[in-house]
Amino acid sequence: METFDYVIIGSGSAGSVLANRLSEDATTSVCVLEAGPRDWHPYIHLPAGFIKTFHMRSINWAYQQEPGPYTGGRSIYAPRGKTLGGSSSINGHIYNRGQRQDFDTWAQMGNRGWGYADVLPYFKRLERRVGEGDETYRGRDGSLTVTTMDWKDPLCEAFMAGAVSLGIPRNPDYNGAIQEGVSYCQRTIQNGLRMSAAKAFLHPARKRPNVHVRTHAHATNIIFEGKRAVGVRYLAGGRGGAPVEVRATKEVILSGGSYNSPQLLQLSGIGSPELLKSHGIEVRHALPGVGEGLQDHYAPRTVGRVKNIKTINELRQGWRLWVEALKWATTRRGLLALSPTMVYCFWHSGETTESSDLQLTFTPASYKEGVQGALEDLPGMTVTSWQQRPESRGYVRIRSSDPFQQPIIQTNYLTHELDRRTIIAGMKLARRLLKSAPLAPYYDYEDFPGPKVQSDEEFLHAATLRGTTTFHPGCTCRMGPAESGWAVVDDQLRVHGLQGLRVVDASIMPRMISANLNASTMMLADKASDLIRGKAAPEAAKLPEMAVA
């Protein structure tokens, strides 16, 4: 049996950062197990390839959520990356860290060292910010390139002018002191190519002789001796493949993402005893919080029909696409170098809300049935709106003891009353933005939800008909004190009650943050690498008093 110091399960946003940092010490051996293939496919690297990888089953777990009380009987599609780089290899490229209060809340929940001042040095250490940014908040020397959208489209400009006309200010850097305002998106795109976590962190690390990456290696069990994790069992080649065991002399680190990490813990006998027994799995360690507490952002899309200008819907058709392909090949710019979202707007649902609780995105394009996988043919523009910090919580539970069967994913979107109120406010703001004076020359009519929708009940009903995930599941192996009853890992990300096992990925977030999750997942993995190596944390950031949002 092969033996390494560390075995990391999953090469996604977190796993890639960890592999890089842990292998900096040449005397340490690191094995990374990845269920998917290498990230060779060109659609991964071409930003506009997003729309293709969205459904590409060779590199995507392509999960389905369970219908919930507020999804109109629909089972919502939930893509997840299954290749080197994980979801960072198929995501929408947006770089968004969240608000100061997100991380201060994590600390208040009993997690020492996770306040904003503590985690800011890790955000800075990871990034190479190209463009505007105050040095207090932005890093310039990291491996992860962060650029700003550089496609100046009249519809985007009109949308931002419309926001300003409603009192929403332009914000030069929503990853700086204040998130609130309207801005072009910041993206993990460099020279017209995706900057995944694998590209920034894993591939450079793979050049080191102490890093061993196994693709098509589907982990099926964590191996224990008593309460200590000592290795991992995987099937080489996936279902029906040869069983292989690798040993970890120091630690096993689970970085399978918010759906697969709790699934693998449950398959390994760690979780709610009732759940495990109901599937004939021997209980190794009772930990009822495993898989519980799932949070995600739920987003209805408000669609306007467009006149007097071409939208992306038409620009990607026929000969125009060839022009765009030529543009990309010669300049690395244009339509093919775009992320699916171009403008971000952070605003509050009511006057008494201290910082923004709504995130709205603008795209001069529209999607069939409001789902991002396929563009419409008619000219359209979309404002997607979601609540930043939902209260509703769901769960991830194994469906059976078969490691290849997708787990039950129940998000319970909008089951909390505050979430329903906030989502309605978001849709109303989306409508006001589309109807703003600067967009008037281009705005034809509202296609969805449509002018008949006026009352709160009607808006809510529309939200249940068309809302989708924004692909931000988290909080299924939450970080918190053992006595909480819900926590799975402590603030060093060690699984409570076990030895030699940590969980390091988006699942450990104790509470949803006001952001897309890629940036903070890489941040938490970078911080975890210091915890694992016993390295002192960088000095906490000294922040101006007034920077609250």
Give catalytic residue positions: 472
Q: Does 90 bind ligand FAD (CB under 6 A)?
A: yes
Task: Please pick, from the candidates 82, 199, 297, 527, the single residue that binds ligand FAD as defined by CB under 6 A.
Answer: 82
Q: Of the ranges 250-258, 280-288, 445-453, 486-494, which one interacts with ligand FAD (CB under 6 A)?
A: 250-258
Q: Of the ranges 237-245, 249-257, 477-485, 530-538, which one interacts with ligand FAD (CB under 6 A)?
A: 249-257
Q: Does 7 bind ligand FAD (CB under 6 A)?
A: no
Amino acid at position 516, single letter: N
Q: Does 313 bind ligand FAD (CB under 6 A)?
A: no
Cis bond leading into 449, ω under 30°?
yes
Residue nearest to ligand FAD (CB): 12
Using alpha carbons, select from 249, 217, 243, 213 the residue that is nearest to residue 231.
249
Task: Please pick, from the candidates 68, 181, 231, 256, the single residue that binds ligand FAD as defined by CB under 6 A.
Answer: 256
H or E element, residue 252: strand 242-254
Q: Does 47 bind ligand FAD (CB under 6 A)?
A: no
Task: Please pick, from the candidates 212, 218, 305, 389, the single residue that binds ligand FAD as defined by CB under 6 A.
Answer: 218
Task: Please pick, from the candidates 81, 192, 291, 426, the single residue that binds ligand FAD as defined by CB under 6 A.
Answer: 81
Q: Does 356 bind ligand FAD (CB under 6 A)?
A: no
Task: Please pick, from the candidates 48, 94, 235, 253, the single residue that binds ligand FAD as defined by CB under 6 A.
Answer: 94
Q: Residue 78 is encoded by which pair of tokens?
A: 């939930």
* N-to-C CA span, the chain: 51
**How near is the Cβ of 380 to ligand FAD at its closest, in Å?**
20
Site string for ligand FAD, 435-474 (x = CB under 6 A): ------------------------------------xx--
DSSP 37: -
Q: Count other Cβ atoms within 10 Å, centred on residue 74.
A: 16
Do residues 60 and 44 touch, judged by C-beta distance below 8 A? no
Site string for ligand FAD, 511-540 (x = CB under 6 A): -----xxxx-x-------------------
CA-to-CA separations, 458 to 74, 369, 421, 449, 453, in angstroms, rounded: 18, 18, 12, 9, 5
Q: Does 12 bind ligand FAD (CB under 6 A)?
A: yes
Q: Residue 19 is encoded by which pair of tokens?
A: 């592999």
Q: Of the ranges 31-39, 62-70, 204-212, 380-388, which one interacts with ligand FAD (CB under 6 A)?
A: 31-39
Of the pair 12, 142, the CB lying nearest ligand FAD is at: 12
DSSP 3-state assignment of 370? Answer: helix
Which phi and psi angles does 460 have, rounded to 5°?
-60, -40
Binders in 391-410 for ligand FAD, by CB under 6 A? none
Q: Of the ranges 391-399, 436-444, 495-503, 510-518, which one interacts with ligand FAD (CB under 6 A)?
A: 510-518
Task: Please pick, from the candidates 21, 41, 93, 511, the single residue that binds ligand FAD as defined by CB under 6 A.
Answer: 93
Helix axes 116-126, 100-108, angle to 10 degrees: 130
Q: Does 14 bind ligand FAD (CB under 6 A)?
A: yes
Task: Please pick, from the candidates 88, 148, 412, 436, the single residue that binds ligand FAD as defined by CB under 6 A.
Answer: 88
Going 232 to 248 to 38 to 127, the CA torsion angle's sign is positive
Beta partners for residue 298, in sequence order: 469
Do residues 118 and 540 touch, judged by C-beta distance below 8 A? yes
Number of shown-chain residues binding ligand FAD (CB under 6 A):
43
Q: Count other Cβ atoms within 10 Å, centred on residue 163.
A: 26
Task: Please pick, from the candidates 35, 383, 434, 487, the single residue that binds ligand FAD as defined by CB under 6 A.
Answer: 35
∠ CA 346-350-351, rounded to 5°:
105
Using alpha carbons, select from 293, 312, 525, 325 the residue that is nearest to residue 412.
293
Amino acid at position 372, single letter: Q
Task: Please pick, from the candidates 79, 133, 304, 370, the single residue that binds ligand FAD as defined by CB under 6 A.
Answer: 79
Q: Where are the beta strands (DSSP E) in 373-477?
A: 380-387, 394-397, 408-410, 443-448, 468-469
Which residues here bind ligand FAD, judged by CB under 6 A? Answer: 9-15, 33-36, 54, 79-82, 86-88, 90-94, 96, 217-219, 255-258, 260, 264, 471-472, 505-506, 516-519, 521
